[in-house]
Amino acid sequence: MGILDGIVSWIAEQVMNILDMISNSVLGALGCNMDTFVRYFPAAETMYHIFVALAIGLILLNLVWQLFKNFGLAMGTEAEDPIKLIIRSMLFILLAYYADEILDIILKIGGTPYNWIMTEELPPLNFANFNSVLLTVLGVVASGSVGLIALILILILAWNYIKLLFEAAERYVLLGVLVYTAPVAFAMGASQTTSNIFSSWCKMLGGQVFLLIMNAWCLRIFTSMVGTFLSNPLSL
């Protein structure tokens, strides 16, 4: 059993070291700024100007089409009010053109509470210490193959923590997609028939920023709990 416990202890230590590395990498990269997104998906920034041109083209095409439909009002076709249509189209052309600056402001506002959460002082956390602490606790409250029990608990902890990290990364990537396709979303607001698409995009953008902040909060709550446990394991 001594050899088995040694092997199990070594595996557990390696698992926690890997968890340490993943945690530091992910938490250091995520946020409400798009620097990491552009670093890993540089084509998004390159193709952004294509989306701006596409958005302006869609708005102008819709403007011409709706004005053309006004000539068919006598035949029973429905069309938007031309004055309101022109004003709305000009407004959303400006929004689509300056979408990057508008989104920068939104992300800075959303990034403020995110940065507060991530920079808050918490008990120091080092996952590599978790294995030895857990063995100490189990040695007090249990008998038998303590190392094997510790390994099972560590694997459960690591799996759930990695799932939470990947969920945060998924939120970040989706936020990046929404940001770099924003001009087309603004184009949808130029027409009453597609304005519901623009409204849905706004809700999705706000929801992703909020969920990213909540993911950071959950991760910090978890790390603070583990950090407190590592500093005084037998207090529980």
**Which residues, including other chains, have CB under 8 Å from residue 19's CB and lie 6 or more apart?**
127, 158, 161, 162
Per-domain residue ranges of the chain = 2-235
pLDDT tens string 170-207: 888 999 999 999 999 999 998 888 889 999 999 999 99
228 neighbors 126 (Cβ within 8 angstroms): no
pLDDT tens string 27-55: 666 777 888 888 889 999 889 999 999 99
Q: How far apart are CA 222 and CA 231, in angstroms?
A: 14
